[in-house]
Structure 1
Amino acid sequence: MRLWTLHPKYLDPQGLVALWREALLARAVLRGETRGYTHHPQLERFKAHASPRLAINAYLATVHAEATSRGYTFDRTKIGPVRPVAPISATRGQINYEWEHLLQKLAARSPALFAQWRELGRPLCHPLFHSGPGPVASWERASGGA
């Protein structure tokens, strides 16, 4: 499961579809509708939010908006209520880590998007997140933690 901290506008079609599916799975986990993935580290930041279900709905709403802007027809009824929620903190280290990870994926899967984004020095994060200083998140498996 990869719930990108990055704005979904940077994702290639495969990545955007995968994000939609994975965020819907995360929503099911947070609603207690599935037994799998209940301890997935990427869910920690949503579980720690004052309103985890509303936070994942807000996350999904942005993914849906991006998909709609590209002409995709993701089912909006799968999201649930979307209300303003407090942002989730994300470190610049985490955003940079994810950016390098995404660029590797784009280089292999979508060379045109890789060429478009590779020189971008400071990618935007998903609107649910507020970036600040700090290392890669402790829950990021490949990083070895903070």
Structure 2
Amino acid sequence: MKGMDFNMLVKNILGNINNFEIGTKDIDEVAIEWYEVDKRILKKQSKKGIEVGIKLEQPYKLQDGDILFFDEKEILIVSIIPCDTISIIPESMRDMGKICYEIGNKHIPLFFYNNEVLVNYDEPLMRLLEKEGFKPEKTVRKLIDGLKQHSHSHEH
């Protein structure tokens, strides 16, 4: 990549590919795990082998499709890696409340997609949700747009 033949340091996100006219630009991706989106400093290698350092000047939650670099020919974006998840479709608002309570009680990050509740796969949680009569499914998905978690401590 022009200007990217050496290690690259990214300090700002330039937008998101979903709101950007790609045209004929060649796309390269920096893959990150869902739990890395809040980190301000990351060192990754793009799919094309470019060493990329991400050191954001402002606190920012990385999003799938965020643009790290572009020029007239190429664009470098963030790609969140799909992972094993538990997907649950609540049948009622009562079920939604119970599901979110059980997940929240375990301090596991929670994600929503349309009418699904998604969490990173956890075997004990899967068994608990099955035992409670829900119909969780093990799937492979990108965990994006998670709920903001509150950090607090309490005794169980």
TM-score (norm 1): 0.24
TM-score (norm 2): 0.23
Which structure carries more relative contact order (alpha carbon 8 Å, separation 6+)?
A: 1
Q: Normalized per residue, which structure has more strand? A: 2
Considering only CA atoms, is the larger Rg found in Structure 1 or Structure 2? 2
